[in-house]
Amino acid sequence: MIFEHKKIDFTELETTTIHGKRHYVTPKGFYPSITTALSVLSSEGIAAWRKRVGEKEANRISTQAARRGTNVHQMCEDYVNNELDRSKFLPHERAMFNSVKGTLDKSLGLVYAQECPLYSDYLGIAGRVDCVAEFNGRLSIIDYKTSSKIKSKKYIGAYFQQAAAYCVMFEERTGIPIDQIVIVIAVEGESEPQVFIEKRDDHIGDCINTIARYKESVGA
């Protein structure tokens, strides 16, 4: 499979850490990353989980999950860039990518951007989007996730909010509106990914509220 690209140039953004939180340096100042802002949705649950399993085990699981997520994401990015070398990755990572490959082959069309830096002056937020491309013929924000188990839609609102924010950021930077968001989750041990297709406007209101909640929590 060879993917066609429509190149859009984006100015690279430097990152910095402020009070332990990742921020992007934009022309209008320091904007927190969207993942940092959305962390307020899960901070209490994560703290309770770490207490339940213990710090050592929590660190082990978190490190393993982060490595898996990074590498499966890299495989997806390389594949869409038509330059994937599977030999660089572990067997379980290749298996998770393979579960996603068929969906990309079937649904992905013209690719506008991958891993590009974005920001929104309206939202006061920034981040790097996984992929902007046509999905089933409709221009979409596409975000790759990995999981050790099947996810229920009601528990992944943060994924939808993140993608909705990227829709706003992309339109501000390019003038090109996007109203469809696609979350592709590679699940360990599953032969097919979970694919959630949503509308931006169904989640951007919650996203705005979460960003406001985050900024209030840090006194911004």
Decide: 139 and 133 in contact? Cβ < 8 Å: yes
Pairing of strands 21-26, 15-18: antiparallel
Residue 16 pairs in a beta bridge with: 23
Question: For the chain, what's the residue count?
Answer: 220
DSSP state of 114: E
pLDDT digits (tens, 9 = 90+) for 121-165: 999 999 999 999 999 999 999 999 999 899 999 889 999 999 999
Element (H, E) at 31: strand 29-32
pLDDT digits (tens, 9 = 90+) for 11-65: 899 999 988 889 999 999 999 999 999 988 765 445 454 556 566 664 565 566 6
pLDDT recorded at residue 218: 79
pLDDT digits (tens, 9 = 90+) for 179-189: 999 999 999 99
CA distance 35 to 30: 15
28's tokens: 């209008």
Mean pLDDT score of the chain: 89
Domains and CATH numbers, the chain: 15-217 (3.90.320)
